[in-house]
């Protein structure tokens, strides 16, 4: 399987080869990959992806999330829908790319859809264009449903990615 990013045409990545290098200790921690999840605000999609990657026991040695323009808070709907899966984001904070040091990661997952994704040097890249569930208004249930849809799509992609390894 090769993943080609939509945000950066021409960049492809063979995940099995990268994981093999990680297991040998070449370019990554020998116990697993270091993953950075990125979006713009670091308040919803990248936070949910961080929690879901963390839930894949033993796959990653480190998972962080960040944004190019961090909002300063984690969206409460993201916290609620992740709690439905038994994942606690309540103590997470919204961080900038500079705060986490993108160059220290083996894999960078961008989750932007309608906005311009942050481009950072460093690890291999995968782009998953997930529509931003935040900022569309509506009733509590409509907002929760948008966040559940985003969460479930991120979870499906992570499970597919992990299974391909």
- Which residues belong to the active site? 39, 112, 117
Q: CA–CA separation, 49 vs 112, rounded Å?
A: 12
Instruction: Please check whether residue 3 is in contact with residue 15, taking contact to mean a CB–CB distance below 8 angstroms.
Output: yes
Question: Which 3 state secondary structure label does DSSP give 111?
Answer: coil
One DSSP character per residue, 24-74 reads HTSSS-TT-EEEEEEESSSSSHHHHHHHHHHHSTTTEEEEEEEESS--SS-
**Which DSSP category does 116 fall into?**
P
Taken as a whole, the chain contains a residue count of: 165
* Sign of torsion over alpha carbons 135, 140, 142, 144: positive
């Amino acid at each position: 399987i090769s993943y080609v990013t939509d945000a950066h045409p021409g960049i492809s990545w063979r995940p099995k080869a990268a994981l093999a290098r990680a297991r040998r200790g070449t370019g990554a921690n020998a116990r697993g990959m270091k993953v950075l999840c990125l979006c713009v605000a670091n308040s919803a999609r990248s936070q949910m992806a961080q929690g879901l990657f963390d839930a894949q026991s033993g796959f990653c040695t480190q998972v962080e999330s960040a944004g190019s323009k961090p909002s300063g808070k984690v969206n409460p709907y993201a916290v609620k829908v992740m709690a439905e899966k038994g994942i606690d984001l309540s103590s997470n904070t919204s961080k900038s790319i500079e705060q986490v040091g993108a160059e220290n990661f083996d894999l960078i997952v961008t989750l932007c859809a309608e906005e311009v994704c942050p481009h950072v040097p460093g690890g291999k890249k995968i782009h998953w264009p997930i529509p931003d569930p935040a900022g569309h208004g509506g009733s509590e249930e409509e907002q929760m449903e948008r966040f559940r849809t985003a969460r479930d799509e991120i979870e499906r992609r992570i499970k597919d990615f992990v299974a391909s390894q």
